Structure 1
Amino acid sequence: MKKNRLGNSDLYVSELGLGCMSLGTNQQKATNIITEALDQGINYLDTADLYDKTENEAIVGKAIKGKRDDIILATKVGNHLTEDGTWFWDPSKSYIKEQVKKSLQRLQTDYIDLYQLHGGTIEDPIDETIEAFEELKKEGLIRYYGISSIRPNVIREYVKRSSLVSVMMQYSLFDRRPEEEVFDLLEENNISVVTRGALAKGMLSDQASEVVKQKGKDGYLGYNYDELVAMTNELSKETNSLTVAALQYVLHQPAVASAVVGASSTKQLLDNLKLKDAAPFSESTYQALQRVSKPITYQNHR
């Protein structure tokens, strides 16, 4: 599988990454999915301390035992879990430096390739957060850091003040918000985008007609149900596989290094991996898909 450089780092990530949030809590099932992903050329695994209240990290850690050197491992921090299972936002230096040790323990590794702030607002103590990440780099506990955020104002601050190598953000044919005010900024600063939500909860997959009925009945972002139905019908006419086209669309952006897609079964993973054998994505197809969808901008989440 094609690999792309993550920002100015020495990490080369597969263009399709495995989002681990959907793996579930059955260890054997999760291990099977991860093993298949690695066998198929995926080297980028993305988890977070928040997923399944830390259990996801532990499951990933067991699944990758003995294979660590072949993997670019990413996790996230900032959602402070309490003893009663609730959480609150905590981007403080003390919490980040305390939590990384717990993540390392659960992941059964002595370093994290990419440590990401799991959110963020403009009111955060941003310099303190950056200081924590920089210290963790010097200590060798993490190799690089990034943020997971869709907030343009927050992203701008980290671009100005930090040495982050990536920004994870939601991006798809149904959510083209980053195109307007984020991608150019990141590309100019040699910071990579890692996307999530490229298949829009499955509404941009080969099962779109069924999924839209379930997950799109109340609309999605700026689209109502009828618009979603009309668009998926039109998009399906433009391509042999909507799943593949949706993934190729986000990867067509020069700033995008990897599209992280979840899988709750090996079959779902293999459906996504059709990308590997797909015909090249032409500029005319890209423009045709753009004409069917519509650009939207960030109103909230600034």
Structure 2
Amino acid sequence: MKKRKLGNSDLWVTELGLGCMSIGTEEKAAREVIETALDEGINYFDTADLYDFGENEKIVGTALKEVRDNVIIASKVGNRWKSDKSGWSWDPSKSYIKEAVKQSLKRLGTDYIDLYQLHGGTIEDRIDDVIEAFEELKAEGLIRYYGLSSIRPNVIREYVQKSHIVSVMMQYSILDRRAEEETLPFLHEHGVSVVTRGPLAKGLLTDKMFKKVSQKGYQDYSQEELLNVLPALKDKLAGDRSFTEIALQYNLAHPAVASVIAGASSPEQVRANAHAINSQSLTEDEIALIKTISKTTLYKEHR
């Protein structure tokens, strides 16, 4: 599988990464998903301390222990579970970040995290303190690089201007193009890579698209709009290709994107996603057609 450089780091990530949130807590089944990803050539595994109260990190770390030097592990920090585990609160304090990383390292069973990401962020945070925490963790060798997992334009701009982030993880798909006009070009211009999540729009951008349409719609699309847009996309683009191929290749077509993070709860889903990533790139005409059929909007908040 092809690799792309992550920002100005020396990390080369596969064009497809495994989003580990959906692998579940049954260790045998979860390991099968991770081992299938390894078999497909995937080297990028994304987890977070928030997932399954930390159990996700434990499973990921155990499954990758024997290949640790050959893979890139990304985790996240900032959401703090309540003592009764009924919910979590936002805590981007320097003291919490520096304590939380130790717990993540312990669960992952590793001495370092390749990419440590702030799991959110607001403009009201003490951003200088957050950056200082990450820089100290780098100096201490506990993390190699750091980034954001955020869709907030105002927060992203602050970190790009003030810090050494190498990546921003953000939602991006044919049905969610909010980042396209503003954020993606800005990050590309500043040498910060984008790692995309939600590329299949909760299954709407797969061959099961019509089963996934609900009355709630999706993002800026109503149910009625989806029932018009999805058939148009499929009829004019898919042909003998799966729509998963179209969706993932659309993400890869943007020069700011380093890797597409897709979740999987079964080995079959991993293999299907890998096949889609390894498939033929979209042509300029196909990309233009997608943009004509789908919506382009801007983030309305966090200006």
Cα offset, 1:133, TM superposition: 0.1
- Secondary structure at the residue paired with 2:291? helix
Q: Deviations over 1:182-219 (max 9, x none)?
A: 1111111100000001100111112111122xxx3211
Cα offset, 1:301, TM superposition: 4.2
User: How many residues end up aligned between the 2 structures?
Assistant: 299
Q: List 4+ stretches of structure 1 deviating above 4 A.
A: none
Higher deviation after alignment, 146-155 or 287-296: 287-296
Give unmatched runs, 5+ long, in structure 2.
Answer: none
Match of 1:291 in 2: 292
**Cα RMSD (Å):** 0.9
Match of 1:64 in 2: 64
Checking the alignment, whether the CA contact within 8 Å between 1:150 and 1:301 is kept in structure 2 is no
1:143-222 superposed matches below 5 A: 143-212=144-213, 216-222=214-220
Match of 1:129 in 2: 130
Amino acid across the alignment from 2:208: Q
Cα offset, 1:279, TM superposition: 2.0
Amino acid across the alignment from 1:112: I
Amino acid across the alignment from 2:26: N
User: Normalization by structure 1: what TM-score?
Assistant: 0.97
Higher deviation after alignment, 252-261 or 230-239: 230-239
Match of 1:45 in 2: 45
Match of 1:29 in 2: 29
Higher deviation after alignment, 225-234 or 39-48: 225-234
Structure 2 vs 1, CA of residues 91 and 277 (structure 1 numbering), >3 Å: closer, same or farther? closer
Higher deviation after alignment, 160-169 or 236-245: 236-245
Amino acid across the alignment from 1:206: D
Match of 1:230 in 2: 228
- Return the alpha-carbon distance in structure 2 between the equivalents of residues 120 and 167 of structure 1: 12
- Return the alpha-carbon distance in structure 2 between the equivalents of residues 61 and 236 of structure 1: 39
Amino acid across the alignment from 1:146: G
Amino acid across the alignment from 1:203: L
- Secondary structure at the residue paired with 1:135? helix
Cα offset, 1:277, TM superposition: 4.0
Q: Deviations over 1:102-131 (max 9, x none)?
A: 000000100000000000000000000000
Cα offset, 1:294, TM superposition: 0.9
- Return the alpha-carbon distance in structure 1 between the equivalents of residues 280 and 252 of structure 2: 14
Match of 1:81 in 2: 81
- Return the alpha-carbon distance in structure 1 between the equivalents of residues 182 and 195 of structure 2: 16
- Return the alpha-carbon distance in structure 2 between the equivalents of residues 108 and 28 of structure 1: 18
- Secondary structure at the residue paired with 1:56? helix
Checking the alignment, whether the CA contact within 8 Å between 1:194 and 1:259 is kept in structure 2 is yes
- Return the alpha-carbon distance in structure 1 between the equivalents of residues 170 and 133 of structure 2: 22
- Return the alpha-carbon distance in structure 1 between the equivalents of residues 83 and 295 of structure 2: 44
- Pair 1:6-2:23 in alignment: no
Structure 2 vs 1, CA of residues 147 and 273 (structure 1 numbering), >3 Å: closer, same or farther? same
Cα offset, 1:252, TM superposition: 0.5
Cα offset, 1:48, TM superposition: 0.3
Higher deviation after alignment, 51-60 or 276-285: 276-285
Amino acid across the alignment from 2:130: T
- Return the alpha-carbon distance in structure 1 between the equivalents of residues 220 and 82 of structure 2: 35
- Return the alpha-carbon distance in structure 2 between the equivalents of residues 34 and 217 of structure 1: 34
- Return the alpha-carbon distance in structure 1 between the equivalents of residues 290 and 242 of structure 2: 13
Checking the alignment, whether the CA contact within 8 Å between 1:78 and 1:91 is kept in structure 2 is yes
